[in-house]
Amino acid sequence: MGYCRWPEEGYTAARQPSRRKGDHAPSGWASRSAAGRRSVLLEADGAGHWLVDGEAASHLDGCLDVDLESSAMTNALPVHRMALPIGGRAAAPAAYVRAADASVERLEQEYLRTTDQGSHQCYDYAAPAFEFACRLVYDESGLVLSYPGIAVRAA
């Protein structure tokens, strides 16, 4: 199985300020790896098979994306990868990394592409495990403008 790393770094203020998170998205918007200061390393083969700290993680089988808790950026990965038409709906389970302890679990998620707001794409997002649903709004570059409860882009 060929695993790949894509060098990109970012920061998120989740439960602890300045917690460093890494998210790596190769072409096709399928996640390949992610790392955090708690020394967790996620690696994927791009076909839905993952390693967590070098060990096979069968509970993540079928996940093509990584989702970092309290990050507004990681939802852009499945949105771009799936390229849903208006009215299109898709499940996008993700390898979910907790901010507090960098534990990794499977998170079932669903996206429904709704009518655009001008040039901004809109999606109804749901994560049933958290009883959470909201409308995500993306700019022309595919970056989030509004993620209720998580982030709103400042001008």
**CB proximity list for 98: less than 8 A, separation 6 or greater:** 69, 104, 105
pTM summary value: 0.76
pLDDT on residue 79: 93
- 70-86 tens-digit pLDDT: 888 899 999 999 999 99
In Å, what is the CA distance from 77 to each residue of 1, 64, 88, 121?
Answer: 22, 9, 16, 14
Starting at the earlier edge strand, list the strands of the sheet with 144-147: 89-91, 110-117, 120-127, 132-138, 144-147, 151-152
Q: Is the pLDDT of residue 128 over 60?
A: yes
Q: How many CB atoms lie within 10 A of CB 75?
A: 24
Segment 146-155, tens digit of pLDDT:
999 888 887 6
Question: Taking a C-beta distance cutoff of 8 angstroms, is the pair 72, 147 a contact?
Answer: yes
CA 139 to chain centre: 17
Span 19-46, pLDDT tens digits: 344 445 555 677 777 664 567 899 999 9
Average pLDDT over residues 87-108: 94
CB 109 within 8 A of CB 78: yes
